[in-house]
């Protein structure tokens, strides 16, 4: 259980570092212009821990019909056992949204489009429209 | 035993100095947490909302749009409209033929 607590403490420390200031990047000088990158940041983690124990009198005697099987110390020897198990996962995502171009007299926000996502959605939308159109035409020209 | 909590806050980030001006960012933070006896999970999303430019001429507010998400939402609405209109046409056709 101490290990589990230690892992949790480490994760909590990492999460504290990932505060809101990671959303706006450091200003960069690019070809005479100052750019501030802006991104959406998301992260998550989860973990679980369990403990199991095999005690004389229950699991150790499951295969024995004899109620007194564990009354014998020899049969109980080595039957007491316990263990801990756990698992976890974590993930993070950073999606660029825009950059701020800082000019000599004013700044402007330039959005960034995810062309691939939009193209895929466009193709899906096209197929969706064609399918509905096909259904309507089939219904209209049905004899 | 299980305690799931969600929260949404708008938090001001640390001011950014660039080009001789100061920018004050604001971020929307959405948190989903679950602390149960045997396990926990924690999900956090930080979405930039706006930035206020502080200059000698005054303050200017800049919105930070999520263009991709807006476009995907518009396409989803278009898909629903197409499905609705097509269903209506199918229904009308069915009623006329009856």
Nearest CA in chain A to B82: A129
Q: Within this chain, do residues B12 and B53 fall inside the same structural domain, yes or no? A: yes
Q: Within this chain, do residues B52 and B89 fall inside the same structural domain, yes or no? A: no
For residues B49 and B29, the answer to whether their CB atoms sit within 8 Å is no
Nearest CA in chain B to A140: B93
Q: Within this chain, do residues B42 and B76 fall inside the same structural domain, yes or no? A: no
For chain B, the domain total comes to: 2
Q: Within this chain, do residues B9 and B38 fall inside the same structural domain, yes or no? A: yes
DSSP annotation of B5 reads E
Set of chain A residues whose Cβ sits within 8 Å of the Cβ of B75: 118, 121-122, 125
For residues A36 and B23, the answer to whether their CB atoms sit within 8 Å is yes
- Sign of torsion over alpha carbons A68, A72, A73, A76: negative
Q: Within this chain, do residues B1 and B25 fall inside the same structural domain, yes or no? A: yes
Structure tokens at A139: 């219904």
A53, HSE (Cβ side, Cα atoms, 13 Å): 4
> How long is chain B?
98
Q: Within this chain, do residues B73 and B46 fall inside the same structural domain, yes or no? A: no
Q: Which domain holds residue B79?
A: 66-98
Q: Within this chain, do residues B23 and B53 fall inside the same structural domain, yes or no? A: yes
Contact A20 B83 (CB under 8 A): no
Q: What count of other Cβ atoms lies within 10 Å of the Cβ of residue B41?
A: 18
A7-66 pLDDT tens trace = 766 766 666 566 777 899 899 988 888 899 999 999 998 888 888 776 655 554 555 555
Q: Within this chain, do residues B57 and B77 fall inside the same structural domain, yes or no? A: no
A89-107 pLDDT tens trace = 889 999 999 999 998 878 8
B12-25 pLDDT tens trace = 988 999 888 899 99
Contact A109 B51 (CB under 8 A): yes
Contact A111 B67 (CB under 8 A): yes
A57 phi-psi bin (left φ>0, alpha ψ -120 to 50, beta other): left
CB-closest option in B48, B83, B94 to A97: B48
Q: Within this chain, do residues B60 and B78 fall inside the same structural domain, yes or no? A: no
What pTM was estimated for this model as a whole? 0.70
């Amino acid at each position: 259980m101490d290990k589990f607590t230690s892992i949790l403490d480490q994760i909590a420390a990492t999460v504290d570092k990932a505060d809101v200031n990671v959303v706006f990047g450091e200003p960069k000088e690019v070809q005479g212009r100052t750019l501030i990158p802006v991104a959406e940041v998301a992260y998550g983690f989860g973990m679980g821990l369990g403990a199991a124990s095999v005690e004389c009198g229950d699991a150790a005697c499951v295969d024995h019909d004899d109620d007194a099987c564990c009354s014998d110390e020899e049969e109980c020897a080595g039957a007491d056992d316990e263990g801990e198990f756990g698992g976890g996962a974590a993930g993070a995502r950073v999606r660029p949204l825009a950059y701020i171009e800082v000019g000599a007299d004013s700044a402007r926000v330039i959005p960034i489009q995810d062309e691939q996502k939009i193209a895929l959605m466009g193709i899906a939308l096209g197929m969706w429209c064609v399918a509905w159109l096909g259904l309507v035409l089939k219904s209209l020209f049905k004899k | 035993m299980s305690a799931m909590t969600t929260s949404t806050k708008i938090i001001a980030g640390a001011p950014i100095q660039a080009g001789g001006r100061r920018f004050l960012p604001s971020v929307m933070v959405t948190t989903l947490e679950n602390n149960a006896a045997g396990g926990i999970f924690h999900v956090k999303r930080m979405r930039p909302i706006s930035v206020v430019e502080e200059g000698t001429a005054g303050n200017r507010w800049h919105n930070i749009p999520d263009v991709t998400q807006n476009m995907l939402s518009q396409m989803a609405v278009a898909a629903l409209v197409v499905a609705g209109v097509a269903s209506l046409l199918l229904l009308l056709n069915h009623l006329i033929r009856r």
